Structure 1
Amino acid sequence: MAAEGSVIIEHVGAVIVQAKVPGESIQTKIGDPVYLGDVVRTDADSRVGINFVDGTSFNLSSNARMKLDEYVYEPAGKSNSTSFNLTKGTFVFVAGQVAKTGDMRIETPVATMGVRGTTPHVEISDDGTTRFSTLIEEGKNKYLKKSGGTGRRDPSKGPSTSSI
């Protein structure tokens, strides 16, 4: 079953989707759905944009890898949730209604980001070094370090970049 309303909207170069069934990979085209458990992977000369029905959109740069772990969205629902696992590459995304009416989590090799309506930019190097940057509105963003603890950014200090 497709993550409702999720489709490849922009496509440059070879973009591969590895289905949750081991060994099944397909090259995508504009309009293809993305399914729960799918891994979207871009090559050196490609990038892709993915839109979801709640208004969430992801843009993946070249040499990126993202897995769709969870996507639950009901327009009138109060228990919506998403979980994306980013393991490599550069990602820019806009949080949609799920972030406002439920739980939106972004997993990286070093931290889990809880999103509440911001536009984060995440860069994950081949060695796992991860950089987060975003304009943060008060009360809208929190991150959890994998080693424990939480961090909050004072929005009055303007834009920030954090390396973990």
Structure 2
Amino acid sequence: MIEMKVAGIAIDAVSRNPIVLLRDAGDRRALPIWIGEAEAKAIVTALDPKPAVRPMTHDLLINALDAWSLKVERVVIHSLRNSTFFAVLSIKQGDTVKEIDARPSDAIALALRANCPIWVVEEVISEASIPVDQDADEAERRAFREFLSNLNPEDFAKGQRQGN
């Protein structure tokens, strides 16, 4: 799994629908997830440093979880099926952890309020992410090709003799 951060909200130029953009720690990959307007507002509100005058729905849920000594441990976006992302919230109470099915947009809005990590399964990243730093990707590919071109069969035999 790869930890992602919310980079912001964008608007799809064609459909005019909001998109939450997640980025990995190295700013190498971005994961766009199309969401609804209400969820976009909930995410933008969580990113805004000034608190809302009255609790929004996601604030209310976090407040209820706090009142019952429950903590949002993490969010995991675990799959992509038919252009739909699926996520779970990991909720902890004492030593007990339960996973609850959630829409990624709601899970992200809650993660921001709970200050917990957002994880994405590598297969989802592979399938749906877009490259952010193509120059770094190409440099990594060149370095790997160079590494492979300098390998000899004897290099593998040396590792076996040393007990590796």
TM value normalised by structure 2:
0.29
TM value normalised by structure 1:
0.29
The structure richer in helix per residue is 2
